[in-house]
């Protein structure tokens, strides 16, 4: 068993804010992340996959292929977009980094596992100070 990781990046806007809460309540809970006119980040996305080494190729899986899956399933939908408004798989969800990691897992799990390996971790770094890791249910 060996673990391989692919990093991709995207830049997006979001805000943490519930429509069923007042602006004051949102500000109290989410602080400056509740700014009504949005803010944004450069996000690092790291996807880790585990499996056996294929003796023919020396690969668990081809990291370029994993990069292409991430591009078509995630990056093309979220890069230079508004996570609250523009991203289909985040519609109606709170765009915290935690929820984003879970939803990215859900978007890619089937296609990753079809490569003959197993999705192990989705890690999202939102700022230099904050990151989140999800290992599935």
* Residue 37 backbone class (left: φ over 0; alpha: ψ -120 to 50; beta: rest): alpha
Tell me: does residue 24 bind a copy of itself (CB under 8 A).
no
Kindly list the distances between the CA atom of residue 68 and the CA atoms of 28, 44, 62, in Å, as whole numbers in the listed order.
40, 16, 10
Report which of 135, 109, 111 is spatially closest to residue 123, judged by C-alpha positions.
135
- Residue 131 and residue 121 in contact, taking contact as beta carbons nearer than 8 Å: no
Tell me: does residue 96 bind a copy of itself (CB under 8 A).
yes
Tell me: does residue 28 bind a copy of itself (CB under 8 A).
no
Concerning whether 133 is annotated as a catalytic residue, the answer is no
Say which of 39, 80, 98, 133 is annotated catalytic: 80
Query: Which CB sits closer to a copy of itself, 113 or 127?
Result: 127
Active site residues: 33, 80, 126
Binding site for a copy of itself (CB under 8 A): 1-9, 11-14, 16, 18, 29-33, 35, 37-42, 48, 53, 56-60, 62-64, 67, 79-82, 85-86, 93-99, 101-102, 127-135
């Amino acid at each position: 068993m060996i673990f391989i990781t692919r990093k991709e990046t995207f830049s997006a806007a979001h805000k943490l804010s519930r429509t069923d809460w007042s602006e004051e309540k949102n500000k109290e809970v989410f602080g400056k992340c509740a700014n009504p006119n949005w803010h944004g980040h450069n996000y690092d996305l790291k996807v880790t996959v585990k499996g056996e080494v294929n003796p023919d190729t020396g690969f668990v899986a081809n990291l370029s292929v994993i990069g292409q899956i991430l591009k078509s399933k995630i990056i093309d939908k979220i890069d230079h977009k508004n996570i609250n408004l523009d991203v289909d798989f985040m519609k109606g969800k709170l765009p915290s980094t935690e929820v984003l990691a879970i939803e990215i897992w859900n978007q890619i799990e089937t296609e990753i596992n079809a490569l003959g390996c197993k999705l192990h971790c989705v890690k999202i770094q939102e700022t230099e100070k904050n990151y989140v890791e999800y290992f599935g249910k």
